[in-house]
Amino acid sequence: MDENNEELGKDPKIDSPAKKSEILEKLNSQEQKFDVFAKKLQSMEKSIAVISKFDDVEKKTMMKLEKQLESIEKSILSNNQNKKEQKPVKRFVLKQVFNNVNEFEENKESFSEFEEHYNAKWRLCVKRLEHHLGLYIYCKPVSSDKWSIKTELELKVVGKNQNAVIKTWESSNEKKVGLVISTFLEFEQMENEFFVDGNLTVEANVSITESAGLGIKKNREFDESQEDVSDVILVVQDTKFYVSKTYLAAQSAFFKTLLLGSFSESSKSEIALSGIDSDDFQCFLEVLYGESAIDDSTVEGILHIADMYATPMVIRKCEEFLLEKSKKSTKKLLEMVARYNLENLKKKCMSEIKTVADIRAVLPPNTEDMNHRILAELFDKALSLH
Q: What is the per-residue pLDDT across 128-150, written as a single tens digit (0 to 9) for each?
A: 887 788 888 888 876 666 777 88
Please report which confidence band the pLDDT of residue 294 belongs to, taking 50, 70 and 90 as the band edges: very high
Per-residue model confidence (pLDDT) at position 269: 87
> CA distances (Å), 206 to each of 169, 201, 209, in order?
10, 16, 10
Is the Cβ–Cβ distance between 183 and 132 less than 8 Å?
yes
For 34-88, the pLDDT digits (tens) are 666 667 667 766 666 666 665 565 666 666 555 555 555 555 555 555 555 556 6
DSSP-derived secondary structure letter, 238 = T
For 305-333, the pLDDT digits (tens) are 999 999 999 999 999 999 999 988 888 88
Per-residue model confidence (pLDDT) at position 314: 96
| The two domains 90-212 and 224-385 share their CATH topology (first three levels equal) | no
Per-residue model confidence (pLDDT) at position 303: 93
Please report which confidence band the pLDDT of residue 289 belongs to, taking 50, 70 and 90 as the band edges: very high
DSSP string, 241-265: EEE-HHHHHHH-HHHHHHHHSSSGG
What mean pLDDT comes out for the span 356-369?
68
Fold classification of 224-385 (topology level): Potassium Channel Kv1.1; Chain A (3.30.710)
Q: What class is the 90-212 domain?
A: mainly beta
What mean pLDDT comes out for the span 235-260?
91
What mean pLDDT comes out for the span 199-215?
80
Integer Cα distance of 282 and 216 in angstroms: 9
For 259-287, the pLDDT digits (tens) are 888 777 777 889 999 888 888 999 999 99
- Map out the domains of the chain as residue ranges: 90-212, 224-385
Give the highest mean pLDDT range of 29-38, 193-202, 355-364.
193-202
What is the residue-averaged pLDDT of the chain?
Answer: 77
Please report which confidence band the pLDDT of residue 8 belongs to, taking 50, 70 and 90 as the band edges: very low
Residues in the chain: 386
β-pairing, 270-272 with 232-236? parallel
DSSP string, 5-19: HHHHT--TTTSSHHH
For 92-133, the pLDDT digits (tens) are 888 888 888 888 888 888 889 888 787 788 898 888 887 788
202: pLDDT strictly greater than 80 = yes
Integer Cα distance of 286 and 284 in angstroms: 5
Per-residue model confidence (pLDDT) at position 149: 80
